[in-house]
Amino acid sequence: MAAMTLEERITRLEDIEAIKQLKFRYSHICDDMHNPRNIASVFASDGIWESEAFGVAKGHAEIEELFRGFEKMFSFSQHNMMNPIIEVNGNSATGIWYIMGPWTQTEGNNETWMALRYDDEYVKIDGEWKYKHLKVELRMTADR
């Protein structure tokens, strides 16, 4: 691997921090009742949200529709993101994140803890990082 200039190193660090902020914005949208009115703001126009457990949505309209379902399904969630591994390659990047958090289902007020893994692909569009593909793997659930 070739040595990076100071400018390249700073750009890489700024990109990693911007991607972390993107994940945190996503988490805040989810914890705001899975707000379908704001979710498209963190995705590229052709972005994909995917989970074997919860479905697949491609593009802003489908992602918003998926989140309208989540808005009805969950009355509470707390996205506690941790342990990111972020690799930046120019205007594209990948990230692995883990999450452990509580969810309350609207129907029956059932409380569940979930552990999930996120495998993300990001793209930098006009200087701003967006999700190109967010893939969620449900790893564990535990009812209260």
Q: What is the mean pLDDT of the chain?
A: 96
Whether residue 118 lies inside any domain: the answer is yes
Strands (E) located in the chain: 43-51, 55-58, 74-77, 81-89, 92-105, 111-125, 128-143
The Cα 40–Cα 45 span in angstroms is: 8
The Cα 97–Cα 110 span in angstroms is: 26
Least confident of 1-15, 16-30, 46-60, 118-132: 1-15
Give 107-130 pLDDT, tens digit per residue: 999 999 999 999 999 999 999 999
* Inter-residue contact 81 to 24 (CB < 8 Å): yes
The Cα 136–Cα 13 span in angstroms is: 25
Whether residue 82 lies inside any domain: the answer is yes
Task: Quote the domain boundaries for residue 100.
Answer: 6-143
- How confident is the model over 15-33, as a mean pLDDT? 98
Number of structural domains the chain divides into: 1
Token pair 């457990």 in the structure block, residue: 53
pTM of the model: 0.95
Strand-pair category, 55-58 with 92-105? unpaired
Strand-pair category, 55-58 with 43-51? antiparallel
**Within a 13 Å sphere around the CA of 33, how many CA atoms are in the beta-carbon half?**
8
What are 63's two structure tokens?
A: 């992602």
Whether residue 1 lies inside any domain: the answer is no
- pLDDT at 1 exceeding the cut of 80: no
Whether residue 66 lies inside any domain: the answer is yes
Give 64-106 pLDDT, tens digit per residue: 999 999 999 999 999 999 999 999 999 999 999 999 999 999 9
Domain CATH code at residue 14:
3.10.450.50
Whether residue 48 lies inside any domain: the answer is yes
Model confidence band, residue 144 (pLDDT cutoffs 50, 70, 90): confident
Name residues whose C-beta falls within 8 Å of residue 2's C-beta, 6 or more positions apart in sequence. none
